[in-house]
Amino acid sequence: MKKNMKNIISTLPLLLIAITWCQASFALGADQPNIVVFMADDMGYADTGFTGSTDIETPNLDSLAASGMTCTNGYVTHPYCGPSRAGLLSGRYQHRFGFETNPAYDLSNPYMGIDPAEMLFPARLQKAGYRTGVIGKWHLGGAPPFHPLNRGFDYFYGFLGGGHDYFRIDLTQPVKEGYLQALERSGRPADFEGYLTTALSNDAAEFVHRNQAEPFFLYVSYNAPHAPQQAPKEAIARYSHIKDQKRRTYAAMVDVMDAGIGKVLTALDENGLRENTLVFFLSDNGGPQPTKQQPGKWNGSTNTPFRGGKGNLYDGGVHVPFVVSWPKRITAGTKFEHPVISLDIAATAVSVAQVPTKWNGKKLLEGKDLTSVLSGEQTAPPHDYLYWRDGEGSRWSILSADRYKHLQDKPGSPKELLYLPDDAGETNDLAATSPDKVSLLRSQWEKWNGANTPNRMQGYKAYHKHRDQFFLDAIPGKATKEGYSPEPEPTFK
């Protein structure tokens, strides 16, 4: 009996710690907001009502902006899809772990995706009791090490590649980048009816209804208005006033996405969750624009007043529509003029969820917690500098808090210095007259770049070329694009 009492007494401190921890966890959970991130794909900066569009209607996005804060100088970490999304979900510059190009769609390649050592911020939320879901485009690798269900998400409905046909699945066609492959719902093949964007939005609304009793994180990762340019006929008909056919279809794609965002926001309202839900909206990069080399590159978007588009380090490629809404904490209709970046979403999310920014030795997040900005307590710039890199440094850019920008957009092109408050179109190069500023910004960029790693993936086009050649080389006989001529059967004497 004495021995048993001794054991009980010796365990009392541990029991008290456990009870205290459980009580603290319950208290935290009671005030943890839900978090929703809407991400558009290849959307032009000026293609919402709140950023100046007059020919495309976005009533739900405009309402979202009116309910919260518009970050007029919101940026992403890369001028195209996969790396930008890697930065968003890791909360760290993707250059730190060698994710600097779009991964090829290859379900069998255990190296073509986001480094498994990186802890994505939804995994941090998951550990704090959040129910986590991603709906739509993944684009961070197709093999099991990169799968959403292995990277911090409890639920996944969508596709693993970088895009998808909006109306059909056809498994009889070549796989290529997976645009006609089946969708997936949490590890099982899935279909969709009607128009893909609407199907994704409906599923996102259902996620809200199913999980309204517990804190959740929902990442609604649209592929709209990314190519292929497809929209329902009735939606296209609503934009008959737009003469250019490509712009008309693009407008319809944005319109349907906006309607879908409205469905998710309505689901929050119907469950009494809107007041304490932190909602972000942004695009993964700017809209593609035509060039002399690629006149057909345009998807119908406009990035006015910015220069360039998807693929450029000018603002047209990385300066995106950026809205934050949280009725419980953010004064409606406010604006924040200082630069913020998609990295800040992770830092803000783990802060409001009351999750440690460093977990089990995993590296610190690199964004800034914007909670004091959102409440109006902080009016100073949250960042001293923002950074970009592509081609392992052959293209680079840096933006200071006072919005001086130093960049080289293409290998061998001039190293420009621009002052964005007076030059949103980035046409007035000040490098020759401000050598001290040039030197300061370049040295600061090099300091940041010193912590980066080489790109760990081959670009998807080059990858497919090498993979195709591998299979051609493996075929006996003469391989051709039309087929192959097998070697003659051996004869034995």
Catalytic residues: 81, 139
Terminal CA-CA length for the chain = 92
Backbone φ, ψ for residue 414 (5° rounding): -60, 145
**Distance of alpha carbon 163 from alpha carbon 281, whole angstroms:** 19
**Distance of alpha carbon 387 from alpha carbon 295, whole angstroms:** 29
**Distance of alpha carbon 437 from alpha carbon 385, whole angstroms:** 13
Edge to edge, what strands does the sheet with 188-190 contain?
A: 188-190, 183-185, 155-159, 131-137, 216-221, 34-40, 277-283, 322-325, 69-71, 334-336
Rounded to 10 deg, the angle between the 59-67 and 245-270 helix axes is 50
Neighbours of 464 (CB within 10 A): 16
Cα 291 to Cα 243, 297, 310, distances in angstroms: 21, 7, 11
Cα 329 to Cα 33, 67, 147, 334, distances in angstroms: 11, 11, 34, 12
Question: 157 - beta bridge partners?
Answer: 135, 185
DSSP, collapsed to helix, strand or coil, labels residue 379 as coil
Residue-by-residue DSSP string for 310-355: TT-SSHHHHB--EEEE-TTTS-TTEEE-S-EETHHHHHHHHHHTT-
Question: 132 - beta bridge partners?
Answer: 217
**Distance of alpha carbon 169 from alpha carbon 4, whole angstroms:** 66
Mode of pairing for the β-strands spanning 322-325 and 69-71: antiparallel
> Quick one: tokens of 347?
């830092």
Q: Determine contact, residues 404/418, Cβ cutoff 8 Å.
A: yes
Q: Determine contact, residues 352/324, Cβ cutoff 8 Å.
A: no
145: left (phi over 0), alpha (psi -120 to 50) or beta: alpha
Question: How many Cα atoms are found within 13 Å in the side-chain-facing hemisphere of 235?
Answer: 24
Q: Determine contact, residues 387/318, Cβ cutoff 8 Å.
A: no
Q: Determine contact, residues 171/180, Cβ cutoff 8 Å.
A: yes
